[in-house]
Structure 1
């Protein structure tokens, strides 16, 4: 909370430093609230401040409107009602200056949401600001529209956003693409208006525009079957090029994360590839080479690289990939099981449970490592590994797997014994081919943990 308070305080200080104000009032309010020792004292301070703000609103004190809005935002973050200040947001947005518009739009995004009727009153101001000559004011309008746009606003302002997606300014183009995501979400029928624009943005070089365009394409695929088919025909080549470029690019401080070039763009592109390649053999075939390159190039000793590898594995398992590529993906998950990080091992076990339906034989090769996970100190890993072992059991490996589990039963954690016993009994009942072996295993289980057998 302190960080949020500091942001609002610093932001309001920048705004409030004008010819009409000393800029200290917000700080005074924050100090008074922090000094309160009880909830009742805090409520009293907030009530007093709200009364002063109401009085200022009633007297139409324009010179302190921006400062009052900053205070209202802080009060809102503390959980107190601030609906009486909503119209002040609209008045600040309608002002001519950038500082007033900035705090007005911030208040609009924080104090209002798309369900409130008062939001319709800001549509005209948004349209004017989207056509403003100042790129920073255009950016404010796009941010606000991308956060609180309703279906009606989307229909009214969609042409302005389309025009701004063709802008020469990098930041405007990026924000317009992100704003288009919200518009498509609210009005899926408008998806066809953005298909060509989204496809053209994938040819840009700037990573900010690229990641925004990829996110827009992902949303278009979810909202419209026509958009999905269009992007399959027109975007796969561009996505492969982006992934190859970012994977082979030299060190760039602006995008580098622990020695990995822009892992966020990597992951977004891989997610979109998974959507486009699912159920489409031609698209999947075009992606195979670059996916193999990404899977083999990234080392699994860095978190950013592990994130890319995991997403790459998900994409390989989600598209119509070749059997060799699937084996490569499952081998990566096998390496994850040997990682020291419990989170990485857990997601690997989860993914292997899904992969077993695709290629059981490839998962069987990692049976020994999975059995070791059953004996892990972490309860969630033990439970997930046991579920995976249960899925791996078949007529050929039932005896060695059952022996491993029964041998571990004696030394298993007391809280885990009940689940382990239940799984062993289920395996024995399901796969027993000899009565003698069935009785032998059941007697062993009964002798070790008779109280756990139901």
Structure 2
């Protein structure tokens, strides 16, 4: 037999389709089968008509066109036998709907079957009418449907239905004969179905009917069903007629909304359903879910709602994903009603965030976000961040966004905010949006007491993570607070000591520049950090210069330009470099809010009475690349030059950000200066402008080219707090600033820190400029005995508020009788400077005549002020 002939069975066609390995093979099978069915229809083959229609229904479920078989449905419906009618009506309900005009042809067949002597054929017609009935069919067949309400067989009465497409028939004579007839179905499933559908679609069905009486009747019926004995005919998984349960609960839910009396009437039966229904079967879970939804919809009853939320909590522990998902959906609605009851199931909801099903994870994460408040934000955030470390890559984006939003919204302390954001950046920095790390930088800049702590935390995080956003924040902070990193300034009790040299700090920024995964923004920020470190660490200046100069031929124009300009600053303008790259002032959050129109700020409160508003993002000002050294982002757009003046004037105005055109005088205001020189000098605050001058803009430009006119220093543009310094050449040279004597602090007398019969230790003190907390100690060891010392080792220990760094000693052999000495440099940082004095315990080990000698002591006689 041909496998694609009309005589093949449905199972053979299904087997052939399932054997297809590609979509093209499946289409070929369906195409050949459809061709065979069309050929059979054209030949009017009555023997295989039912088999062809069964195949068409399967093909229709696969999504292929089957319109050519619609008339076959009508032919089978018109057949005399039950098997043919069953296939015909099933095809009618699947292949057609009430909008098809061909349905007019089946009205007569439906009318005959509704009057048929075979109850099963009557049931087929009723089912089909309930699914595809049009308004015209409803009006034509209404008498037959109404008559069937009196049918002797209960199976037909259960299938009794009326289409919702004819509202004028639905509301006819509600209090009259029609209502009396519907009351005959009070104890059948169709009553609850019918009344629920009518009430939802057309509330007029209960006009004239007292709501209390309806509620009382429904409650009585539901109570009888709940307490009814075992009935094999209606039993499903040990529950009597769960469909009737559900329909009655839905109707009670509609009746109880906004009606306190009806709600009170149904409270007892709802509590009974919620406590008696077993939850180990799917039918029981369906009833419990409808009961919970009804409890949540009717008027307030605190005890019932707690019971309902506890049921949802049990649902969250179910192994069925569908049950857990609907429970999460319902809890999101319940949290607006009774948040405290939902909070009790917080641990279970958190476990759902870690579920393997993606839809459950997302819904649970949304629910956790709604559960967060000031009292539980810390434990919840910790749980989410811990899960972030092991979560799937496709889920990290959603999880990271929620964590950042929670931290920004509910943060109580800056240090906690910074810690959590650093953890997020370390684990999923590539999923963090730009506005998040922009806002973090704003917080860091405003937390002056946490600068040292933050830069050390970022240095540690950089060693273990390559996340792009983390690298950007790290290089920004190292560029700003690199000296605090090296000197361990602002140590907190909660952090461990860390030893970082100037070379180590430069290594971090160099890695960020050379890392192949770093994008243009990261590299540009690292260039800026390098320029700042060249001033912070003069000993590394040449190394930094060598790193920067490597990019003078880079294909990216911005990096090439920064390389050339920064190299020029490092090589030729050391005198003004420190002022040029001074530490950034505190970032004004209001400024960044203004640059982000429409953004909503999140509040982070400090430990004091003040609070700051963190904007959702930090955008940067437009500026020329040469002066955009401290911008948070490097994708800057050059400022549009003013159209006033010639080409040279446009360049000057663009570079300096000033308008050289004279402004008209305004009433009540100071008269504007009358020429370009006065305007330029006034804006730049360089001395007093001449009383009379006739220089034009072209004269100014020519004076600049001849190095006769001072213009704005770049350090004034880069660091607002820096003093103005005259500039000779805009592109190459800067005026030499008179040398400023370095302030090395007050001189401290040398002390004999330790002395015994064998050894003498002398301390000399000095302080680096601008850092009163740090003390540099030069230790000199002298041998007082007649024997030389070998394997010389010096060790020291300080309290927690002090940080000690020891450089290697000049040697390990100490000559006898003071004929030589060993020196060693120490650096001590006093975090309690001005409050506590230095104190140190020392241990000196050496060998004398091949015998181990140990000298110990405590130094308390440090000069005051260290």
Normalising to structure 2: TM-score of the pair?
0.43
Q: Using the alignment, how far apart are the partners of 2:430 and 2:95 within structure 1?
A: 58
Name the counterpart of 1:116.
100
Q: Using the alignment, how far apart are the partners of 2:131 and 2:266 within structure 1?
A: 34
Q: Using the alignment, how far apart are the partners of 1:259 and 1:156 within structure 2?
A: 42
Shift of 1:99: 6.6
Name the counterpart of 2:365.
386
Q: Using the alignment, how far apart are the partners of 1:340 and 1:33 within structure 2?
A: 36
Q: Using the alignment, how far apart are the partners of 1:85 and 1:343 within structure 2?
A: 37
Name the counterpart of 1:248.
227
Name the counterpart of 1:73.
53
1:218 aligns with 2:206: no
1:139 aligns with 2:123: yes
Change (3 A) 1:46 1:286: same
- Please show how residues 395-434 of structure 1 align to structure 2 within 5 Å: 395-434=374-413
Q: Using the alignment, how far apart are the partners of 1:34 and 1:297 within structure 2?
A: 45
Name the counterpart of 1:446.
425
Shift of 1:27: 5.0
Shift of 1:434: 3.3
Shift of 1:101: 5.4
Q: Using the alignment, how far apart are the partners of 1:136 and 1:398 within structure 2?
A: 63
SS at match of 1:301: coil
Deviates most, 267-276 or 349-358: 267-276
1:54 aligns with 2:80: no
1:286 aligns with 2:265: yes
Deviates most, 432-441 or 304-313: 432-441
Contact 1:271–1:311 under 8 Å retained in 2: yes
Change (3 A) 1:236 1:448: same
Q: Using the alignment, how far apart are the partners of 1:319 and 1:385 within structure 2?
A: 25
Bigger Rg, which one: 2
Residue number among 136, 141, 156 corresponding to 1:152 in the alignment? 136
Change (3 A) 1:70 1:430: same
SS at match of 1:254: coil
Change (3 A) 1:102 1:333: closer
Contact 1:336–1:344 under 8 Å retained in 2: yes
Count of residue pairs the alignment pairs up: 412
Change (3 A) 1:41 1:253: closer
1:302 aligns with 2:281: yes
Task: Name the structure where strand makes up a greater proportion of residues.
Answer: 2
- Please show how residues 259-274 of structure 1 align to structure 2 within 5 Å: 259-274=238-253
Q: Using the alignment, how far apart are the partners of 1:407 and 1:46 within structure 2?
A: 57
Contact 1:198–1:217 under 8 Å retained in 2: no
Deviates most, 241-250 or 119-128: 119-128
| Deviations, residues 230-286 of structure 1 (Å, cap 9, x unaligned) | 484553223222221222222222222222222222222222222222222222111
Which protein, 1 or 2, shows the higher relative CO under an 8 Å CA cutoff with sep ≥ 6?
1
Contact 2:50–2:88 under 8 Å retained in 1: no
Task: Name the structure where helix makes up a greater proportion of residues.
Answer: 1
Name the counterpart of 2:509.
none
1:333 aligns with 2:312: yes
Q: Using the alignment, how far apart are the partners of 1:424 and 1:84 within structure 2?
A: 56
Shift of 1:26: 6.9
Deviates most, 428-437 or 244-253: 428-437
Name the counterpart of 1:323.
302
Query: What are the ranges of 5 or more consecutive residues in structure 2 without an aligned counterpart?
Result: 434-866
Shift of 1:358: 0.9
SS at match of 2:299: coil
1:203 aligns with 2:191: no
Shift of 1:221: 0.9
| Deviations, residues 317-360 of structure 1 (Å, cap 9, x unaligned) | 11114111001101111222233333332322221111001111
Shift of 1:54: 2.7
Change (3 A) 1:369 1:81: closer
Change (3 A) 1:191 1:449: same
SS at match of 1:176: coil
Q: Using the alignment, how far apart are the partners of 1:376 and 1:97 within structure 2?
A: 53
Contact 2:53–2:72 under 8 Å retained in 1: no
Normalising to structure 1: TM-score of the pair?
0.78
1:258 aligns with 2:199: no
Query: What are the ranges of 5 or more consecutive residues in structure 1 without an aligned counterpart?
Result: 1-24, 57-63, 205-209
Change (3 A) 1:390 1:154: same
Contact 1:202–1:238 under 8 Å retained in 2: no
Q: Using the alignment, how far apart are the partners of 1:294 and 1:188 within structure 2?
A: 34
Change (3 A) 1:194 1:167: farther
Deviates most, 227-236 or 296-305: 227-236
Name the counterpart of 1:13.
none
| Deviations, residues 275-303 of structure 1 (Å, cap 9, x unaligned) | 22222222211111101001111233333
